[in-house]
A = this chain, B = another copy of it.
């Protein structure tokens, strides 16, 4: 199979109670593609400015990520600045500079339009709809969003969701979108809006996965060391979709395995700032952690 990831490549300035890092590489597309690259060969669609490190582009290439859909544009890369509290699951956005991302109207390269899985990471739902129209006949479409769009563009989001198979959201977004505080009912309601699979991410509390006549829950991996939670959700999606791309089906067994892999990839990425942990990560470590995780959740 094949996987296209459309989303942001960014420079992030991150402040935690202990450290501040300036303009390190981030972005939903970057995290997702890197996490997926351990299981498949993802293609990406995104835009960066001239200030995006050449070294990172080389690294993405070494990780076997197909960069034909990456535009390097005059100007500066999308910049996000955020601060985390002592609770690493709580963050505030302090600055958002769209830069070259402002007028990004993604065009899929012709070779990308036959792809089996399309992942629309968080962007404006209208844009997500436009990209979806460029695809020939994808096997699965996956989509992520943020609460901003649930609030500001609920109708556009609902419209694109009708054509989506796998929807990733967090607990707050699920509650807002469905108008239902009970997450079990919220997830079930959202499966009736289009997606056959709904994944509610609860940060350190794990994940709920809803399908047709299917509901299962995956704890988070117990992390002793949490440095930076930026990109955890995108890395979950990357591991999840990377596995599904390899497996080729949305069968129950594969959905469970994909969720475990997503969980473990998220647990790796939070161990260091930005994408740093993915630089040293090797497949045997992932497999070892999957085994540990299997024991962790066994009752």
CB contacts (< 8 Å) of A256 on chain B: these are 298-299
Copies per assembly: 2
Residues A297 and B297 in contact in the complex (CB < 8 Å), given A182-B224, A185-B224: yes
Across the two chains, which residue of chain B brings its CB closest to A255? B299
Across the two chains, which residue of chain B brings its CB closest to A206? B219
Complex contact A87–B181 (CB within 8 A)? yes
| CA of A297 to CA of B185, assembled, Å | 18
CB contacts (< 8 Å) of A217 on chain B: these are 206, 219-220, 222, 296-297
Output the residue of A208, A216, A222, A296 with the most chain B CB within 10 A.
Answer: A222
| CA of A77 to CA of B288, assembled, Å | 55
**Interface on chain A toward B: helix, strand, loop, or mixed SS?**
mixed
| CA of A217 to CA of B224, assembled, Å | 14
Considering only CB atoms and an 8 Å cut-off, how many residues of chain A contact the other chain? 33
Within 8 A of B (CB), among A226-256: 226, 256
CB of A223 within 8 Å of the partner chain:
yes
CB contacts (< 8 Å) of A206 on chain B: these are 205-206, 217, 219
Across the two chains, which residue of chain B brings its CB closest to A210? B222
CB of A192 within 8 Å of the partner chain:
no
| CA of A204 to CA of B205, assembled, Å | 9
| CA of A217 to CA of B181, assembled, Å | 24
In the assembled complex, how far is the CB of residue A273 from the closest CB belonging to chain B, in whole angstroms? 17
| CA of A298 to CA of B255, assembled, Å | 11
CB contacts (< 8 Å) of A19 on chain B: these are none
Enumerate the 4 nearest inter-chain pairs by beta-carbon distance, A residue then B residue, closest first: A205-B205, A217-B219, A260-B299, A184-B222
